[in-house]
Amino acid sequence: LMLIVFMAMQLFPLVTPVLSFLKALLLPLSLSFLFTYLLHPLVEGLHEHGLPRSLSVLLVFLALLVTLGLVLMFGVPLLIEQVQHAMTVLPQQITEIEKMIIQIQTQARALPSPIRVHINEWSTQAGVLGAKALDQIEVLA
pLDDT tens digits along 3-29? 888 888 888 888 888 888 888 889 899
**Residue 27's Cα: distance from chain center in Å?**
16
Residues 6+ apart with CB under 8 A from 64: 39
Phi, psi of 4 (to 5 degrees): -65, -45
Residue (of 81, 100, 80, 83) closest to 134 by Cα position: 83
pTM: 0.49
Are 105 and 120 a contacting pair, CB within 8 Å? yes
| pLDDT tens for each residue of 23-48 | 888 989 999 999 899 999 999 999 99
Residue (of 37, 33, 28, 35) closest to 63 by Cα position: 35
